[in-house]
Chain A
């Protein structure tokens, strides 16, 4: 159920995106309000990641509105886009950690480049704080190749948290992880929301993740949101495509 009394901080309206002949998003509408975790649920290849990449300006929509924190993303110039990106944390599906850097350097990198004149002690404190928040302080001097998949995801999230974003965008946070690690990542997403007061869009095809982390679910099928609401509201339906998604996910 959407909150109509407040202005959404992410407003997606009639959004279209295609790649060549392939229409991926076909008129998507979604409002996200401050402080809520919205899960975008759908099968692989339905354009979920495309949607959040448009929100950070990595891709541009063919038509429609992608408005974040009151600004239309596609209309921002380079410096405005940079300012907006500082307020958004983006956790990549494959973590996208910098291979040639240690965990410490991975976390320092965005910080020292975006917050000038920090002392060594301030940088160390910021790095250690976010690593503690994701429970991986002991990995500080390791390189990404020495980390497990779950640890990489956590470090990826820590790297986004170091800039204290208002909005978090998680791209398949539990993909490729074992069930126990998935639960830990789900808990971490909820902790981040509580501790850092973030608003989040979580892209996933994992129903357990959706149920555990989403205040609201938006179901993306064939390029449009077919249902939005709480987990129970979305899946309390006789619509065959949604039921089959639900059944298949739990069989998996």
Chain B
């Protein structure tokens, strides 16, 4: 749509930009898969990045997971108490944590901590010509910087998610045992009797999908950063916003697909 002066309308321009970004994102993802399966893997760098991702998020995930489990249990109790069903609390909380909360809490925290950090780091390397320096030294910066970070976040975030789930259940147990005096053995038994393989499998798939999304979005934004320090800030910010947006879309899709398999 053009204005009478021949200039494109702002809306049309933004729409063009959005479609172009989606196209470029897919091209970037295609390059990731091409480079990932070509030549030798940068194993050491992947391990280093996995450690960095875990290290960056562990404290925050521990705290958030624990509080989420505890608060969720506390808030659910009155509703169950109305029906005299507080003994169902461990099952209810474990279903909520395993099916949804652990994955979402981990993903959102990681999008903030890991995604922004990847976006800012690669963005800064781009604007200070460090990525160009790798290229002219006959080193493949995409393989060294992008592939390693995406693989690392795809591995580390599901692990963090499992950890978050366990910490969340610990928070729930603390609340239940202090209020109802439930023993650990009973809590575990009740918590896991409603959990199916499909729940755990779906959750793991979510973790992998979210980890990949956070890694690839952060790398894409950072690797294509422009305009100096302003570009670095934008890359970090966009990494978080776009990752979160995609995570929610993926959540809806994965839940819909997994419900299809539920009896």
- Chain A residues within 8 Å of B, Cβ to Cβ: 53, 56-58, 82-83, 85-86, 88, 90, 92-94, 96-99, 109-110, 113-114, 159-160, 163
Question: Which of chain B's residues have a CB closer than 8 A to the CB of A163?
Answer: 137-138
User: Closest residue to B124 on the A side, CB-wise?
Assistant: A99
Asked if residues A96 and B129 are in contact (CB atoms below 8 Å), the reply is yes
B20 at interface, CB cutoff 8 A = no
Shortest Cβ distance from B144 into A: residue: A113
Within 8 A of A (CB), among B106-162: 124-125, 128-130, 132-133, 135-139
A58 touches B135 (CB 8 A): yes
A102–chain B nearest beta-carbon distance, Å: 15
Complex: how many Å from CA A96 to CA B135? Answer: 12
Which residues of A sit under 8 angstroms from B129, Cβ to Cβ?
Answer: 92-94, 96
Shortest beta-carbon distance from B124 to chain A in Å: 8
Interface residues of B (CB under 8 A from A): 124-125, 128-130, 132-133, 135-139
State A53–B138 Cα separation when bound (angstroms).
14
List A contacts of B132 (CB < 8 A): 53, 58, 92, 96
Closest CB in chain A relative to B224 CB, distance in Å: 15
A85 to B138, CA, bound (A): 6
For A86, A94, A96, A97, the residue with the greatest tally of chain B CB atoms inside 10 Å of its CB is: A96
Considering the chains assembled together, what is the distance between the CA atoms of A113 and B124 in angstroms? Answer: 23
The residue in chain B whose Cβ has the minimal distance to the Cβ of A90 is B136
Q: Which of A92, A94, A97, A114 contacts B138 (CB 8 A)?
A: A114
Main secondary structure on chain A at its contact with chain B?
mixed
In the complex, the number of residue pairs spanning A and B with C-beta atoms less than 8 Å apart equals 53
**Contacts A53-B132, A163-B138 known; 16 new A-B pairs at CB < 8 A:** A85-B137, A88-B136, A92-B132, A93-B129, A94-B129, A96-B130, A97-B130, A99-B124, A110-B137, A110-B139, A113-B137, A114-B137, A114-B138, A159-B133, A160-B137, A163-B137
Tell me if B139 and A98 are in contact (CB < 8 A): no
Cα(A177)–Cα(B26), bound, Å? 43
- Asked if A82 meets B138 with Cβ closer than 8 Å, knowing A94-B129, A96-B128, A99-B130, the reply is yes
The majority secondary structure among interface residues of chain B is: helix
Task: Give CA–CA (A98, B122) in the complex, Å.
Answer: 11
* Distance, CA A97 to CA B128, complexed state (A): 9
Residue of B nearest to A113 (CB): B139
Q: Is the CB of B133 within 8 A of A114?
A: no
Among B130, B135, B139: residue with most chain A CB under 10 A: B130
A-B pairs with lowest CB-CB distance, top 8: A110-B137, A96-B133, A96-B129, A90-B136, A85-B138, A82-B138, A86-B138, A56-B136
Q: How far is the CA of A53 from the CA of B137 in the complex (A)?
A: 13
Q: Are the C-beta atoms of A92 and B133 separated by less than 8 Å? A: yes
A98 to B128, CA, bound (A): 9
Specify which chain B residues have a CB less than 8 angstroms from the CB of A56 in the assembled complex. 135-136
- A163 and chain B: residue at smallest CB distance: B137
Q: Which residue of B has the minimal Cβ distance to A86?
A: B138
**How near does chain B come to A80, taking the closest CB pair, in angstroms?**
11
Min CB–CB distance B208 → chain A (angstroms): 27
State A114–B134 Cα separation when bound (angstroms). 11
Give CA–CA (A159, B135) in the complex, Å.
13
A92-B129, A94-B128, A99-B130 in contact; A159/B137 too (CB < 8 A)? yes
* Distance between Cα atoms of A93 and B127 in the complex (Å): 12
**How distant is B134 from chain A, measured CB to nearest CB, in Å?**
8
Closest to B139 in A: A113
The reply to whether A98 and B138 form a contact with Cβ atoms under 8 Å apart is no
- Minimum distance in angstroms from A71 CB to a CB of chain B: 14
Shortest CB–CB separation between residue B262 and chain A, in angstroms? 46
CB contacts (< 8 Å) of A58 on chain B: these are 132, 135-136
Inter-chain CA distance A98–B145, complex, in Å, is: 12
Chain B residues whose C-beta falls within 8 Å of the C-beta of A57 in the assembled complex? 135
Residues of A within 8 A of B130 (CB): 96-99
Q: In the complex, what distance in Å separates the CA atom of A54 from the CA atom of B133?
A: 14
Q: Is the CB of A85 within 8 A of B128?
A: no
B131 to A, closest residue via Cβ? A96
Q: Are A110 and B138 in contact (CB under 8 A)?
A: yes
List B contacts of A160 (CB < 8 A). 137
Residues of A within 8 Å of B135, CB to CB, are 56-58, 85
Q: How far is the CA of A109 from the CA of B138 in the complex (A)?
A: 11
What's the least CB distance linking B38 to chain A, in Å? Answer: 10
**Distance in Å from the Cβ of A154 to the closest Cβ of chain B?**
15
The smallest beta-carbon distance between B205 and chain A, in angstroms, is: 33
